[in-house]
């Protein structure tokens, strides 16, 4: 299966950050050590199925985060704060 790479490159900060929060909501019920493997496994299997090299979405995500930071958007900062607070409880 293939996906239109232009769609990935044109993804918006808001939609991507909302997706991250949705995934975090699901995996937060798992122990931290299982979360890591579950999230990594999901990503690895998805990328394999879509025939996307792992570095491509990581680069695009890095660009989205940098753009959001330059524009003063808080979506990714909010997610980072969530992880800081959530993992501090462990």
Answer yes or no: is pLDDT of 78 > 80.
yes
- Residue 17 near residue 72 (C-beta atoms within 8 A): no
First to last CA, the chain: 39
Q: Is 14 exposed, middle or buried (0-12, 13-18, 19+ CB in 10 A)?
A: exposed
Percent of the chain with pLDDT over 90: 53
User: What is the domain partition of the chain in residue ranges?
Assistant: 5-88
- Quickly state the pLDDT bin for 79 (edges 50, 70, 90): confident
- Using one digit for the tens of pLDDT, what is the confidence trace for 5-35? 889 999 999 899 999 989 988 888 899 899 9
């Amino acid at each position: 299966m293939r996906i239109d790479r232009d769609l990935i490159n044109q993804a918006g900060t808001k939609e991507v950050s909302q997706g991250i929060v949705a995934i975090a909501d699901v995996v937060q019920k798992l122990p931290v050590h299982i979360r890591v493997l579950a999230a990594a496994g999901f990503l690895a299997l998805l990328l394999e199925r879509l025939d996307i090299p792992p570095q491509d979405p990581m680069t695009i995500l890095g660009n989205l985060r940098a753009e959001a930071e330059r524009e003063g958007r808080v979506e990714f900062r909010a997610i980072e704060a969530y992880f800081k607070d959530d993992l501090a409880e462990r």
